[in-house]
A and B are shown apart, each in its own frame.
Chain A
Amino acid sequence: MIDIQHLSFRYSKKKAVFSDFNLQLHENCIYGLLGKNGTGKSTLLYLISGLLRPEEGEVECSVANGDRYRSIDRRPELLEQLYMVPEEFEFPLATLDVYVRQNAPFYPNFSREVLDQCLHEFELSADDKLFALSMGQRKKALISFALATRTRYLLMDEPTNGLDIPSKSQFRKVIAQNMTDDRTIIISTHQVHDVESLLDHILILSDKSTLQLDESVASLTERYAFTTCQVSGDTVTALYSEPSPQGLSVITPRTPDEPETQLNLELLFNAVTKGALR
C-alpha cells in the first residue's frame, strides 16, 4: 500500500502544489490519475517515487515482507519494488539488450520472459539500437522493461504519449497481462480513451491539487449511467450533459434495475471538473 499523509509540497517560493494532501493506494488496482495541466499529477508521482522532498507530511510504501519505507529515504529495498516510467527520459547510446544487462540486475524479480513477451507484442527486438528508435518505440521499450522488473509499484506518466494507434491497444494488452494481485499501477494521463478500459479506480486532482474524485470504476458505473441521446428533452434527469457527434452525451443517476453502462472517462472528467458530480 502507498500511504500519503498530510503531504505539503511547493516548488521553491511558488504557491503550494499540495497542502495537507492525503491518499491511500491499494494493491491489485490500476489507478487512473487525471487532472488539468498544472494540477500536480507528475509532481505527485515524483513525490511517491521519492524524487521530490515534501515540505511536510510523508509518503510511505509497504514492501512484500510488510516493512514500510518512506519514499524520500530512497532505500534500495523500496526502489527495487518501485519503477517509474517518466514522460520524458533518456536512453544510453546502446542496444536494448545492453541496457537490460546493465539495469536488470538491480531488480530481483526481473523477468526476461516478460520482457521478451512485451517486446514481441510491441514488435521490438532486444537487438534494437535505442538511439535509432523513434520516441514512440523508445517509450514501448521502456514500458516493456518496466513491466519486466515486476515491481510492486509501477508509476507511469503519460505512457501513451507518442504511441501510434496499434501500439495503444498493445499497451492495454501488456498491462492487463502483467497485472498481478500484489501490484499497484498508477497511470497519469490526459489520453483518457487510451486507458479507459484498463482502470479500476479513478483519481481526479482539482485546480487546487485536492482530490476531486477518488472512487472505483465499479462504484461509478453502479451509481451512474453514461449514455448518448438525441433529444435535449431527455436530459431532464441528467446530472451532466455535453454535445457529442452522436447527439448528447449524458450522465444520469442509475437505478438498480437498469443495466450497467461502460464508463465514459472524458465525460466523467468534464462533469467532475465542472462541479456537476461530487
Chain B
Amino acid sequence: MTSNFSLSRFWRLLRWQMPGNIMLLSFMGVWVALFMSFHLIDVGMSDLNEEALREGVRKSVSSYWTIGANMICIAVCAMFSLLGNKQTAHGYLMLPSTMQEKFVVSVLLFTVGNLILLFVGFIVSDVLCSCLYYMLYPAVFVSGLPDFVQHLLLRDYYVEGHFELLAILDDLCPLVWWHSLCVLSAVVIRRNAVLFAIVPLVLLFPLMWLRDDYATEMAGGLYDSWTLPVSVLLSVLAAVHYVAAYKLFPLRTIVGHKYLAIL
C-alpha cells in the first residue's frame, strides 16, 4: 500500500484541476483588478497635486490588499464546486488519487492561485493607471507597485528596526481564521458555503468594531493585553478548522444530504 500523499499524483492532479478552475479564478482576478483600476482612476481624477496623488495611491493599495485577501477567502468557499452536481463529482471523485491529495491541491490552487492572480491583476491595473496619470500629469510618475511590494514584505509592520509582532498577529490571525472557516465550509456545506462562512464574520463584526474603538481610545492598554490571547485563540480555532476539513473531506460522496455534504 502506498502513502496518502504522492508528489507525482499531486502534480498530475494539479495539472488536471487547473484548466477546469481557471475561469473561476480569473473571474476573481478580473473583479479585483477592475475595482483597483476604478479606485486608482478615481484618485487620479480627483487629486491634483503630486503628494495627494501618492497618498491616494498608497491608500488604494492598502484597500486592494484587504479586499484581495477577503476575496481569496470567499473564492476558497467555491473550491469544491466540482462536487456540486453528480456529473462533475463523478469525474472528480473517481480520479485515481487520494482524497487528501484532492483536498491539498484544491486549497493550494484556490489560495496560492488567487494570490498570483491578485498580483497579476494589480500589475495590469497599475500599468493602466500609471499611463493615465502620466497623461494627466506628465511631470509626475506615480505607481502603486512599491507600496504593493511593501505590503507583501510586511514592511508596514517594520518599525524602529524590528517587526511589530503583535501588530502582525492582530492583522494576520483573523484572516487565517476566516480562511480556515471558508475551507471548512467548502468541505462541509453542499451549497452556498460562502453564506455559512460569512455569518460568523457578520456576528463578530460588532465585537471587532467595539474592540478596535476601545483599542484606539485606550491607546495601548486593551490593544496590548487582548491581542495576544485573541490571536492565540484564533490560531487554535484555525488549526481545528483546517484539521477538521482535512479529516472530513474523505467522507464526501456523490450523493449527500441536501445541505450538509458529508452526511
Contacts and interface: CB of A to CB of B under 8 A. Distances in A.
Interface stretch (B12-20, B151-159, B191-199, B220-228): B12-20
B2 A106 contact: no
A76 interface: yes
Contacts of A46: 254-255
Interface stretch (A82-90, A123-131, A226-234, A241-249): A82-90
A84 B15 CA distance: 22
Contact of B87 (A50, A84, A89, A103): A89
A74 B88 CA distance: 17
B90 interface: yes
B86 A92 contact: no
A106 B96 contact: yes
A77 interface: yes
A53 B87 contact: no
Nearest to B13: A106
B162 interface: no
A5 B85 CA distance: 29
A107 B95 CA distance: 9
Contacts of A88: 86-87
Interface string A93-117: 0100000001101110000000000
Contact of A51 (B88, B99, B251, B254): B254
Interface residues of A, number: 29
B93 interface: yes
A82 B255 CA distance: 19
B96 A80 contact: yes
A79 B101 CA distance: 14
A49 interface: yes
A162 B95 CA distance: 25
Contacts of B19: 92, 94, 102
A246 B20 CA distance: 54
20 contacts: A46-B254, A49-B94, A51-B253, A51-B254, A53-B251, A53-B253, A74-B98, A74-B99, A75-B98, A77-B2, A79-B96, A80-B96, A86-B90, A90-B88, A90-B91, A92-B20, A102-B16, A102-B19, A103-B95, A106-B12
